[in-house]
Amino acid sequence: MPASEIFIQATETDPDVIAQGAVREAHERLRSGLAEVTAAQPGTGPAQPRSAELVDFCLHEVRRYLGTADRDLYAPASGDDETRLLVNALRVGAAALDAQIDELTAADPVDAARFGVMIAATLDVHLRIEESVLLPALAGLPDVDPLLLAADLRAYLAGQQVEQPTVIDVRKIARGGRHPRVFASYARLAPGEAFILVNSHDPKPLRREFEAIHRGAFSWDYLQTGPEVWRVRIGRIAADA
C-alpha cells in the first residue's frame, strides 16, 4: 500500500475524518456569516438589519454552498437505495431555502430581518441533517472519494470554481484510489454528461462494479483498446434516453 494511503481510522489522517472536517468548516462559515449579517446595526436607535449584506450573503454564499453540496454530497448518495430518500429530502430542503432567498430579495428592510431569521433557522436544521445523517452514510458508499470531496469543499471555501474533469487518467492515481475516484466523478455527472477514462489495461473489473451498482444508468464506450493504452467514455444516461 502506498504511504499516501496509510492512515489510522478515526484520526486526523483518516480520509473520512478529513472530509467531515471540511464539511463542518463550510457549515461554520455559513452559520457565522449569517449570524453577522442578521445582527442589528448598533447605535442607530431601533434595531436595523444589514439587509443589503444579508441579501448579498444569501445570493452568493448560501446559494453557492447549496450548489456545492448538491454536487459533492447529494449526487454520490442519490443512486444508493439506502440514501436516496434522504437525498430527496435534503433537496426539498434546499429548494425551500432557495425560495426563501427569492422572497428575501424582494422584501423591504423590515421584512428582510424576518426572512433572515427564517433562513438562518432553516439552514441550521438542514446542515445538522447533513452532519448527523448524511455524512456517516457517505462514508460507506463506493461513489464517494472522501479526499476528493474534501478538496472540492476547500475550493468552495477559497472561492474557487470546481470543474468536472473531462479526462481521468487513472495511471496517475494510486491503486487503492482509482475506483473511488472514478465513481466519485461519475456521481457528479449530470444526465447526458460523460468523461473519458484512461488506463494501462482493459478496465473490465471496473465495468463489473458499474454493472452491479449502476446497471442501466451508465454508458460505456471504448475509444481505444490497447495495446498500451485503453480509453473509455463513461457517461450518465439521460432519463429520457
The tens digit of pLDDT for each residue in 77-113 reads 887 788 889 999 999 999 999 999 999 999 888 888 8
Query: What are the grid coordinates assigned to 84, written together?
Result: 436516496
Q: Mean of the pLDDT values across residues 203-217?
A: 91
My answer on whether 30 and 141 are in the same domain is: yes
pLDDT of residue 153: 87
Strands 230-236 and 167-169: unpaired
Query: Mapping DSSP to helix (H, G, I), strand (E, B) and coil, where does residue 1 land?
Result: coil
The C-alpha atoms of residue 200 and residue 202 are separated, in whole angstroms, by: 7
My answer on whether 153 and 174 are in the same domain is: no
pLDDT of residue 39: 81
Domain count within the chain: 2
Burial class (CB in 10 A: 0-12, 13-18, 19+), 127: buried
Query: Mapping DSSP to helix (H, G, I), strand (E, B) and coil, where does residue 45 land?
Result: coil
Give the pLDDT confidence of 163-197 residue by residue, as tens digits.
Answer: 666 888 988 887 777 888 888 888 878 788 899 99
Q: Are 86 and 29 in contact (CB under 8 A)?
A: no
Residue 241 domain-assigned (yes or no): no
My answer on whether 152 and 47 are in the same domain is: yes
Query: Mapping DSSP to helix (H, G, I), strand (E, B) and coil, where does residue 235 land?
Result: strand
My answer on whether 80 and 120 are in the same domain is: yes
Other beta carbons less than 10 A from residue 157's beta carbon: 14
My answer on whether 177 and 142 are in the same domain is: no
- Which among 22, 137, 166, 165 is positioned nearest to 74, based on CA atoms? 137
Mean pLDDT taken over the chain = 84
Q: Are 19 and 150 in contact (CB under 8 A)?
A: yes
Report whether pLDDT(12) > 80: no
Q: Which CATH number do you get for residue 172?
A: 3.30.110.40
**Owner of C-alpha cell 445582527:** 39
Q: Which of 109, 135, 157 is the last residue of a domain?
A: 157
pLDDT of residue 191: 83
Domain carrying residue 186:
167-236
* pTM for this predicted structure: 0.71
Burial class (CB in 10 A: 0-12, 13-18, 19+), 99: exposed
Give the pLDDT confidence of 211-232 residue by residue, as tens digits.
Answer: 988 889 899 999 999 889 999 9
Q: How does DSSP assign 92-123, residue by residue?
A: HHHHHHHHHHHHHHTS-HHHHHHHHHHHHHHH
Question: Distance between the two ends of the chain, CA-based, in angstroms?
Answer: 41
Give the pLDDT confidence of 32-74 residue by residue, as tens digits.
Answer: 999 998 886 655 444 455 788 999 999 999 999 998 898 888 8
My answer on whether 72 and 93 are in the same domain is: yes
Q: What sign has the CA pseudo-torsion 185, 186, 189, 195?
A: positive
